[in-house]
Chains A and B, each alone.
Chain A
Amino acid sequence: MDVALADRFFALMALAALAGTIGIIVLGFGSRVSPALARWNDQVKDIFGDWTHWIVFLIALVSMLGSLYYSEIVGYAPCSLCWYQRIAMYPLVMIMGIAAARRDTRIRVYALPLMVIGSILAIYQYIISYIPNAEILGCSLDVSCTERYIWEFGFVDFPLMSFIGFSLMIALMLWTSPGQPTGSEE
């Protein structure tokens, strides 16, 4: 696959995920204040509610495959902060895949901390690429944490993609719990 194409594709996925995150935040919080938004929220939840764990699994899977594509096939060396984000992201593929297959709603207690930690690392890395003085955690000089291997649409780089991915996962996990109303385990 052509790298420029992959860059654009993953950046577009990130934008879609960003739109999804914003949509969920608007619906989720808006439904508390606006009856119209609450109706929309219920409708959207009706369609996607049962699938949120699978969607979270898909986000983690795409993130993992994307990061492996760039490090193993394209050959970009992952920096230390990138590694920490990978540590948060990769287990989610397994965890959320199994949870989705078993419809295990209690998984959010285990998955959310990983997602929150990953998103904090990601936004930190995104900020230090703008404000190098904000860099307080050590990043080795061998592999810079602030080098932009990819730069799409004037603001999308790897840390931002990572942050958007984690954000959408958090939003989805908090928005619904699939199968919650039954509470039974079959």
Chain B
Amino acid sequence: MTSRKKPSKKQSKVPFFVGGGILVLLVVALLTTGLGGDNGDNGGSTAQEYADVSVSGASLPDYAQDSADLAIGLPMPEVTGQDFDGTPVSITNDGRPKIIVLLAHW
């Protein structure tokens, strides 16, 4: 009844086209990530996003909105950990003033 040729009759190559294209992309992805392409993010490097941290000393009293900050003047807990490539980092009372900056991306 239909005047239009159906894909099944014509043996359309579109499914092979699409499937082949996806396969090619998969191979390209494999070649560029698996076989030592750029390993900027985590390919074999020792960099870590985070590591264990140990805290010693009493924590500071919680800040309450309606009264003065009780933590002012008190010694803060000492923190030891490591930075991105494993070098030990510590924030301790070594007699020098410090500024601690907390950053978030968004």
Provided the pairs A8-B33, A51-B12 are in contact, do residues A182 and B3 lie with their beta carbons within 8 angstroms?
yes
Number of interface residues of B (CB under 8 A): 26
CA distance A164 to B41 in the complex (A): 24
Provided the pairs A5-B34, A13-B22 are in contact, do residues A51 and B14 lie with their beta carbons within 8 angstroms?
yes
CA distance A146 to B106 in the complex (A): 6
Distance of A100 from chain B, by nearest CB (Å): 11
CB-defined A-B contacts under 8 Å, sample of 7:
A4-B42, A5-B30, A5-B33, A5-B34, A12-B29, A50-B14, A51-B7
Distance of B1 from chain A, by nearest CB (Å): 6
* A16 located at the interface, meaning its Cβ lies under 8 Å from any Cβ of chain B in the complex: yes
- B 7-26 to A, binary, CB cutoff 8 A, 1 in contact else 0: 10000111100100110011
Q: Give B residues with C-beta under 8 Å from A.
A: 1-4, 6-7, 12-15, 18, 21-22, 25-26, 28-30, 32-34, 41-43, 105-106
Complex contact A2–B7 (CB within 8 A) = no
> What is the predominant secondary structure among interface residues of chain A facing chain B?
helix
